[in-house]
Amino acid sequence: MSPTEQPTLSDYRQREQSITLAPVTQQIVERNAGDTSEELLTLNFGPHHPATHGVLRLLVTLQGEIVRDIKPIIGYVHTGIEKTAEDKAYWKVIPVVERMDYLSYYFNAMAFCGAVEKLVEVDVPKRAQYLRVIHLELNRIASHLIWLGTSALDLGAVSIFLYCLRERELILDLFEMSSGARMHTRYFQVGGVIEDIPAGFEGKVREFLKIMPKRADEYGAILNANEIVLQRLRGTCPLDADTLLSLGVSGPLLRAAGNPWDLRKADPYSSYDDFQFKIPVGTVGDNYDRFAVRLAEIYESVHIIEQALDGLPEGPHITTDRKVALPPRHELATSMEALIHHFKLVTEGFRVPPGEVYHPIESPRGELGCFVRSDGSSKPARVHMRDPSFVNLQALSHMAEGSYIADMIATTAMLDPILGGIDR
Amino acid sequence: MEVKREPLGPAAGLGAHVDPGALRVRSLNAHQLLRGADMQGANQPAHLKGTELERYVEERILTTTLDKTVAWARSNSFFPLAFGLACCAMEQFHAAGSRMDIARFGFEAFRASPRQADLIILAGRVSIKMAPIIRRLYDQMLEPKWAISMGACCSSMGVFNNYALVPADKFMPIDVHVPGCPPRPEALMHGVLKLRKMVQDDPDMGWRERYDAHGTEEILGA
Amino acid sequence: MPDATGLELIAHELRESEGDEAVRETVFFRGRGTIEVAPERIRAVLAHLRERGFAFLASVHGVDYYPHEPRLGVHYELLDMARVDRITVKLRVPTDAPEVASVTADSSADAPGGPQRGWPTADHQEREIYDMFGVVFQGHPDLRRILMPEDYEGHPQRRDFPVGGEPVAFTYNERDALGPM
């Protein structure tokens, strides 16, 4: 392909056909030793379909009911988040970037704030780190609950969906208590968290932590004793850890295949090394292991939150560096410097020294990395979020090849794709 | 403090030639668009005579109890299309969950197929790649159909005013816009209940009723 | 993380095996090392680093260095899981000749470096860089737009591409902003 020839300027339908049918048909024909009697059907799982994983479009090539090839087509919720982020001051990027992977909003904010904190070289106080951990783990539980609910919905177990939403309401109440909003809370800021937790928050969290393991036991009991769920998940679509590593997959998918890679343990950030927790790891790498690993992670998150609450230190909730963090409001009435800092931060924002940094964290779906390039001004020059679902989606065709359509649906559910993160 | 509200007219210094009735902003809803009302909203049937006038009145004003009953039945049994795009879909799930139960109003039957649905709740941001598909879905729905634009991103451009998004008003008629980012499940319910009142031909004027502010709408393109 | 001396060692090894012009620059910033390489050598550099243990390609992303030439940059984030090491490899190409060898597919036996394993994880990510920046990856099995519609013109993430958007529709400019319905 010459550099001047644009590969996109040809007939749309023609291109789609040439992508799927021709090379795959050839492979099938070769595999069946020249027998061309088996017809291949390309089915379009359109962007709007009831398996609610967002607007994912799959071009599935079927031989009978066996899946031979899957081509995911994405971009249906592409929001230009990275482009919008280049236009805004650093602290205004936080709400924009939060809306990327819309189930793990604290994680998006954490990745971005971590990257900017590295660039600005500001220290996050210990109390802020513990508060961040509490909210991150609560978000992890909430994300896994929606995953469990929608996956069970796909498999047909509709009541689990309502149970999981009931628990998620409790978590969203906690978020509302600490920050005022249920989703996309802008709670994490560069240098710490925007506000300290209110009185009574700790009590409410502990109440929740008492209920959550029991509820998770219930879900496990319902699903693990259900013959249909077990038959659909056990032994279906396994993929070994080496292929997953070459595809760049991380997170619960990789852990289900046996590789215990978790950035919270391997490369701890935000005081994760102060806490004792286990990493659930699967053995076979099939759908059941992916399900079991995520369910077990809920218990581990509960354990981490308990430890964080027990050890929550006193101190400031955001860095005391006034060049980066807003001064507390009562100071504005008495201190001229505080007023000037406030003014500078709100109008222009803080300037970040030039450089490039990549900050990875462990989100509920895998390695969420944030690349920030700054050119010395108050707006970032490039923000890129390395979203785990975007990379994990490439594993779908490897996982589901050779299995039935129903298994492909179950695999898509167990993959836990979030289209907001995939399309950004 | 007493707030005095005056209808727009000479008292407001606009001059004697301005007719307050002509200043009302026409809020177009999907109903009217599909029946061919134009942007100017010339709904005064002054030019119609005789049988035309009768038919006009019949079409637009519910006089019979049967019509009222049909409208009441339709409004209490929306079948929403199970259509979630982005973050607002999560709050839509919560509206269907057990705390903020959408089923107590009768709307729990989320249909997967647009042919069986009559309400499309656009929950989330509409990108340029998705817009023609949503339009196709909306066209596949059968009359009578309504549309709710949930959240800031599809109502206006929301947080992301950039190249990749389209506000839903640009390609399909929307009946109710629900603001929020994302709107709470209660806010979505409020929007759906407003739509219900609209379908019963009793459009909820909201704050204008509470503050007795009828006739104080803004001037459009004077 | 390889510290500054470790980074220099790696750069030295690369220069030894790939030639002096392969490595253009090394930067050690905020505890992480970055090696800038010549775009022609990227496959060989990544293969060499894979031998050294950096077997996980975490991210491939593009950057627009406008107004500094060469404008378009591609960053490869590598991770060594055994030693918990990260290193960044970057290259820069100008806008008028934005070709880079794709690292996705395995190279065949008759390629100059011999048969080499590719990095399948770079598949969608290179497509995204093509879509957003216009960098053409030669040897990519399926280079099409991934996020924008297939017939979109322009590369949105470039710094000289306008952010776009709609004028906000208030009542006074409703007709102009929304246009004829």
Using N-to-C axis directions, what is the helix angle for A158-179 and A201-224, rounded to 10°? 170
Which residues is A193 bridged to in the sheet? A188
User: How many Å apart are CA A288 and CA A57, to the nearest integer?
Assistant: 24
Nearest CA in chain B to C172: B220
Q: If you compute the radius of gyration of chain C from its CA atoms, what whole number of angstroms results?
A: 20
Residues A78/A72, Cβ–Cβ less than 8 Å: no
Sequence-separated (6 or more) residues with CB below 8 Å from residue A371? A115, A356, A357, A358, A359, A382, A383, A384, A385, A386, C59, C61, C63, C75, C77
Residue B208 pLDDT: 67
3-state secondary structure of C93: strand
Highest mean pLDDT among A37-41, A184-188, B195-199, C30-34: A184-188
Q: What contacts A66, CB < 8 A, 6 or more positions away?
A: A402, A403, A404
Omega of the bond leading into C67 within 30 degrees of 0 (cis): yes
- ipTM confidence score: 0.90
Preceding amide of B144 cis, omega within 30: yes
Kindly indicate the confidence band of residue B70, based on its pLDDT and cuts at 50, 70 and 90: confident
**Is the pLDDT higher at A110 or at C173?**
A110
Interface contact flag, B33 C181, Cβ < 8 Å: yes
DSSP conformational letter for A422: H
Please indicate whether, in this complex, the C-beta atoms of C59 and A80 are within 8 angstroms of each other: no
Cα nearest neighbour of A361 on chain C: C58
Q: Which of B129, C30, C108 is nearest to A78 (CA)?
A: B129
pLDDT at A381 (0 to 100): 92
Which phi and psi angles does C150 have, rounded to 5°?
A: -60, -30
Band the pLDDT of B44: cuts 50, 70, 90. Answer: very low
Cβ within 8 Å, pair C63-A3: no
Pairing of strands C56-64, C32-37: unpaired
pTM over 0.95, yes/no: no
| Cross-chain Cβ contact A394/C34 below 8 Å | no
Which two tokens mark A29? 């024909």
- Supply φ then ψ for residue B115, to 5 degrees: -65, -25
Residues with Cβ within 8 Å of A380's Cβ and at least 6 positions away in sequence, in order, are A85, A86, A90, A93, A352, A372, A373, A374
Rounded Cα distance between B28 and B175, Å, is 8
A54-98 pLDDT, tens digit each: 888 888 888 888 888 888 889 899 988 999 999 889 989 999 999
Kindly state the DSSP code that residue A101 receives in the 8-state scheme.
S
Cβ <8 Å between C124 and A367: no
C interface test, pick of B25, B126, B156, B163 with most C CB neighbours within 10 Å = B163
Q: What is the mean pLDDT of residues A23-31?
A: 65
For residue C142, the distance in angstroms to the closest alpha carbon of chain B comes to 20
The average pLDDT across B10-39 equals: 47
CA of A57: which chain B residue's CA is closest?
A: B130
Tokens of B142: 């059968």
Find the closest chain B residue to C169 by CA distance. B156
Average pLDDT over residues C133-147: 88
Mean pLDDT calculated for residue range A307-335: 89
* C-beta of residue B214 within 8 angstroms of C-beta of residue B205: yes
Q: Which residues of C touch B129 (CB under 8 A)?
A: 148-149
Q: What is the rounded CA–CA span in Å between residue A316 and residue A328? A: 11
User: Taking CB atoms and an 8 Å limit, are B221 and C165 in contact across chains?
Assistant: no
Contact A190, B98 (CB under 8 A): no
Omega cis (within 30) before C70: yes
Each residue of B128-142: pLDDT tens digit?
A: 889 888 998 999 998
Amino acid at B34: L
Alpha-carbon distance A331 to nearest alpha carbon in chain B (angstroms) = 31
For A267, the closest of C84, C124, C132 (CB atoms) is C84
pLDDT in tens, B78-123: 898 878 888 899 999 999 888 988 889 888 888 888 999 989 999 9
pLDDT in tens, C71-97: 899 999 999 988 888 999 999 998 888
Strand, helix or coil for residue A359: strand
Q: What beta strand segments (E) does chain C contain?
A: 23-29, 32-37, 56-64, 72-80, 85-93, 99-101, 136-138
Which residues of chain B have a CB within 8 Å of the CB of C155?
Answer: none
Q: How far apart are CA C57 and CA A394, in angstroms?
A: 14
Residue pair C58/A248 in contact by the 8 Å Cβ criterion: yes
Q: Which residues of A touch B117 (CB under 8 A)?
A: none
- When pLDDT is averaged across residues C117-136 and rounded to a whole number, the result is 90
> Per DSSP, what are the bridge partners of residue A374?
A355, A380
Suggest the residue from C153, C157, C166 to mutate for an interface test with chain B (most B CBs closer than 10 A): C166
> Above 60 in pLDDT, residue A20?
no
Mean pLDDT, to the nearest integer, of C156-167?
85
Of the given ranges (B39-48, B204-213, C108-117), which has the lowest mean pLDDT? B39-48
Residue B80 Cα distances to A399, B75, B107, angstroms = 34, 12, 7
What is the C-alpha to C-alpha distance for residues A107 and A385, in angstroms, rounded to an integer? 11
Look-up of token digits 């406030």: A342
A2 in reach of chain C (CB within 8 A): no
Chain B residues within 8 A of C161 when measuring between CB atoms: 163
Q: What is the rounded CA–CA span in Å between residue B18 and residue B23? A: 8
Scanning every residue of chain C, which has its alpha carbon at the shortest distance from the alpha carbon of A354?
C29
Please state, rounded to an integer, the average pLDDT across all residues of chain A. 87
Distance of CA C86 to the CA centre of its chain: 16
Taking CB atoms and an 8 Å limit, are B161 and C148 in contact across chains? no
User: Does A423 reach chain C within 8 Å, measured CB to CB?
Assistant: yes
Token pair belonging to C119: 């990095």
**Separation CA B189–CA A177 (nearest Å):** 22
DSSP A71-86: EEE--TT---HHHHHT
Where residue A298 falls among pLDDT bands split at 50, 70, 90?
A: very high
Question: How far away is chain A from the Cα of B165, in angstroms, using its nearest Cα?
Answer: 6
> pLDDT of A92-141, one tens digit each?
999 999 999 999 999 999 999 999 999 999 999 999 999 999 999 999 99
The pLDDT value recorded for residue C139 is 86
> From chain A, which residues contact B within 8 Å (Cβ)?
46-50, 52, 54-55, 75-81, 83-84, 95-96, 99, 102-103, 146, 149, 161-162, 165-166, 168-169, 172, 182-184, 419-420, 423
Which residues in chain C touch residue A12, judged by CB atoms under 8 angstroms apart?
150-151
Pair A261, A250: CB distance under 8 Å: yes
Report the distance separating Cα B120 and Cα B174, nearest Å.
9
Structure tokens at A280: 């659930």
β-sheet bridge partners, residue A370: A359, A385
Q: What is the DSSP string of B101-157?
A: -SGGGT----BSSGGG-SEEEEES--BTTTHHHHHHHHHHSPSS-EEEEESHHHHS-
- Is A358–C124 a contact, with Cβ atoms under 8 angstroms apart? no
Burial class of residue C117 in the structure, from the number of CB atoms within 10 Å of its CB (0-12 exposed, 13-18 middle, 19+ buried): middle
**C-alpha torsion A320→A324→A328→A334, nearest 10:** 90
Residues of chain A with pLDDT > 90, as a percent, come to 56
User: What does the pLDDT read at residue B218?
Assistant: 55
**Contact status, residue C143 vs residue C130, Cβ threshold 8 Å:** yes
Give residue B41's region: left, alpha or beta (phi > 0; psi -120 to 50).
Answer: left
What per-residue confidence (pLDDT) applies to A198? 92
Do the beta carbons of residue A168 and residue A142 sit within 8 Å? yes
What's the pLDDT band for B222 if we cut at 50, 70, 90? very low
User: What is the average pLDDT across A243-253?
Assistant: 91
> Contact A48/B83, CB-based, under 8 Å?
yes
- Least Cα distance to B179 among C168, C148, A60, C9 occurs for C168
Q: In this predicted structure, what is the pLDDT of residue A156? A: 85
Is the distance from CB of C81 to CB of C55 less than 8 angstroms? Answer: yes
Helix (H) or strand (E) holding A384, with range, is: strand A380-386
Closest alpha carbon to A67 in A327, A365, A402: A402
Tokens of A342: 């406030």
